[in-house]
Amino acid sequence: MTRSLSLLRCGATALWLAALTLPLSAGAQNSSKAVVTTAQVRAELMAHAPDGADSGKTVWLGLQLTHQPDWHTYWKNPGDSGLPITVRWTLPTGITAGDIAWPVPKKIPIGNLANYGFDGTVLLPVPLSISAAFRPEANNNEIDVKLKANWLVCRKECIPEEGEFVLKIPVKGSMAANGAAFNKAFAAQPQPVPGGTAGTSDSSVQIEGRTIKLTVQGLPAALRGKTMEFFPETPEVIETAAQWTQKWDGAVWSAQVPLSAERSNSPGVMPVVLAADGQGYRLELKVLGDWHKVSTKAAEAPEPVPLAAAPASLSLLAALLGALLGGMILNLMPCVFPVLAIKVISFTRHASDRRGHRISGLAYSAGVVISFLALGTLMLGLRSAGEQLGWGFQLQSPAVVAALAVLFTMMGLNLAGLFEFGQFLPSRLSTLQAKNPALNAFLSGVLAVAVASPCTAPFMGASLGLALSLPALQALLVFASIGLGMALPYLAASLIPAVARWLPRPGVWMDTFRRAMAFPMFATVVWLVWVLGQQTGIDGAGALLALLVAMSGVLWAIGLTGRSRWLLTGITLVVLGLMLVALGRNVTRPMDVSSAATSSERWQAWAPGRVEQVLATGVPVFVDFTAAWCVTCQYNKKTTLANADVLSDLTAKKVMLLRADWTRRDPAITSALAQLGRNGVPVYVLYQAGRTPVVLSEILTVQELRTALSTL
């Protein structure tokens, strides 16, 4: 058993290294080039410096997005849903970036809602100002530009994407190759209207009841009599999709636009863009009137829908207790059984050695608690650095899933007797690890946490949600409580003599039991390969299976004796190397969206703003926040959510079913979970217009769901 567990030493170390690289691998579309390509968008960082980039000059950069047909991204005011494109620059000292020079957007109708955004190809120019503080010679006479951009691209479904770009701009000489693209972008920008910013009664916004009246003079004479498009830069002020009236009175254009029933902004100056015939005009209009006297809720409007359930008001003590109980329940997760079975073998081996039994239990408990603290510290640190991560983030990386599959395959083959790990180590190291069984027990705790942590157990969800709002030390106490809860049954078994007397005595049966434990290991590998298939597609799962077979061949050859051992080992290593070169890239390659869609005849894919759209029609919504690597999610999906009575109730109540798949990193889903006071999956939420959302239990029962549906 010592030799079986010694594999954990290297495996656990490799696992933590893979987890630490997650921020680099989680966004598979990221790149360190000037071009980033996804299945929906080709994004390119471009420069325009026809006069060079000397001190005192302005250089233009631009992020050009080329959308696939039917896909779109969003303007600075996205409208009723969506998220605006955001950029974050890293520039040398003495160089500053201005704001995006937004082109005129398009109005994108979505049912009875509307968004503002872009399709086709759009270039977003940004000016760089170069001051005398910039030292070209210290930067190799180049301007090193780094950009991290985020955008939400939507069709029927929405996908948050990001890209990291690097571009070098020579200080001397010119960069005019992109001149045509930038000139086209400059022409697409709204132009100022003479006299349009004076804030007089001739050009202003007047509050009139539940509408606003825009009055503008100074527009070009060629526009008189034409229908204008209206785009407010301030979000959440007007009914974006509502019908509104406009007219010309000589040279003065006016319009009446309904205010939003859920208005959240009250600007004193309202920047707007008016457009006609492909040309836009920008004005900053002074608002005349008092927003506080406006009744923003129309008489026929339904009650505002609170989309964020208020997190339960937990005290720190209650959160710690919930974390402790949730940690204990984690031991019931099927994916943890193989590791815990090894732990049972270890306990049995120490049945007649009370001191060894206690040391093993304490070491295992230390491994579990320290691992939870390490995961909590890593997650809190990455979130404070701006990464949108939640509980279970490590299994959102295909690299970590593949590493776990390799580790469990090796453990299974070791337990089955195909090879002994001591064959890989010098005799001195083998002797050393045999004398330190506590280290093996510690690493078994690390591995147990690695496979148990992705799911949230009952009582854990609210505690984890609260942990993210607490100071760092208090948050880490919550994570430590989860670890203590998970380790508690085994800690009690190692410290209480009465429990030890119930353990069977060592004997020949242990070798049989050890070999039998190989099969739960292989079952875990099956699950991990399935998870990878959900992330990267059938090619990724097939490539991982092929690599695991090749790796098994290498381990088999190493376990041979005689002269053929080294020949066969060399052959299998060559085969493994060739397969790594040929297939390795498929293991972490992102799956095309067309094959990754979660929609079905009954379930539709969740997207930001989708719940609001459905609720506005009066239809209730049930959202399943799930992930392929969450065993509890899959259990609930195959039982409660597939129950005939539940499906009948959902149909009778005409409930829209949405599934938010968090298998791969998705900042929009992370944000939605945070609004619900949760930080992991599964989460089940029932929405109804005018009512607070109902968040159901993690282990969902038929009775609980049917009771909630009966209130609709």
Report the domain count for the chain.
Answer: 4
Last residue of a domain, one of 136, 163, 189: 189
For residues 172 and 237, state if they share a domain. Answer: no
For residues 235 and 340, state if they share a domain. Answer: no
**Given a cut of 90, is residue 620 above it in pLDDT?**
yes
3-state secondary structure string across 377-434:
HHHHHHHHCCCCCCCCHHHHCHHHHHHHHHHHHHHHHHHHCCCCHHHHCCHHHHHHHH
For residues 466 and 318, state if they share a domain. Answer: yes
List, for residues 125-158, the tens digit of each pLDDT value: 999 888 888 877 766 778 888 999 988 888 766 7
Q: Residue 522 domain-assigned?
A: no
For residues 212 and 234, state if they share a domain. Answer: yes
Last residue of a domain, one of 493, 517, 541: 517
Q: Find the mean pLDDT for residues 307-316.
A: 47
For residues 55 and 179, state if they share a domain. Answer: yes
Give the integer Cα–Cα distance in Å for 218 and 214: 13
In this predicted structure, what is the pLDDT of residue 195? 55
**Given a cut of 90, is residue 547 above it in pLDDT?**
no
Query: Where do we find the tokens 């009575």?
Result: 645
Query: Where do we find the tokens 């080294």?
Result: 566
Domain region containing 87: 31-189
**Mean pLDDT over all residues of the chain?**
75
Q: Residue 199 domain-assigned?
A: no
For residues 352 and 444, state if they share a domain. Answer: yes
Q: Find the range with the poorest average confidence among 218-227, 247-256, 446-455.
A: 446-455
**Given a cut of 60, is residue 635 above it in pLDDT?**
yes
CATH of the domain at 175: 2.60.40.1250
DSSP 43-92: EEEEEEBTT---TT-EEEEEEEEEEPTT-BEEEEEEESS----EEEEE--
Secondary structure element (H or E) that encloses residue 372, with its range: helix 354-384
Q: Find the mean pLDDT for residues 235-254.
A: 83
Among 186, 187, 249, residue whose Cα is nearest residue 219: 249
Q: Assign residue 153 a region: left if phi > 0, alpha if psi is -120 to 50, beta otherwise?
A: beta
CATH of the domain at 210: 2.60.40
For residues 44 and 164, state if they share a domain. Answer: yes
CATH of the domain at 646: 3.40.30.10
For residues 117 and 40, state if they share a domain. Answer: yes
Q: Residue 656 domain-assigned?
A: yes
For residues 93 and 223, state if they share a domain. Answer: no
For residues 64 and 122, state if they share a domain. Answer: yes
Q: Residue 319 domain-assigned?
A: yes
In this predicted structure, what is the pLDDT of residue 623? 95
Q: Residue 466 domain-assigned?
A: yes
For residues 287 and 328, state if they share a domain. Answer: no
List, for residues 182-206, the tens digit of each pLDDT value: 889 888 899 887 655 444 446 888 8
Q: Residue 547 domain-assigned?
A: no
Q: Residue 131 domain-assigned?
A: yes
Spatial CB neighbours of 340, under 8 Å, sequence gap ≥ 6: 331, 448
For residues 273 and 388, state if they share a domain. Answer: no
Last residue of a domain, one of 145, 166, 189: 189
Q: Find the range with the poorest average confidence among 119-128, 351-360, 498-507, 636-645.
A: 498-507
Q: Which of 252-266, 322-336, 566-580 has the highest mean pLDDT?
A: 566-580
| Cα dihedral sign, 348-354-355-358 | positive
Q: Find the range with the poorest average confidence among 23-37, 52-66, 242-256, 330-344.
A: 23-37
Note whether 53 and 143 are within 8 A (CB). Answer: yes
Q: What is the DSSP letter of 198?
A: S
Q: Residue 555 domain-assigned?
A: no
From residue 232, how far is each of 17, 256, 274 by CA, in Å? 48, 13, 9
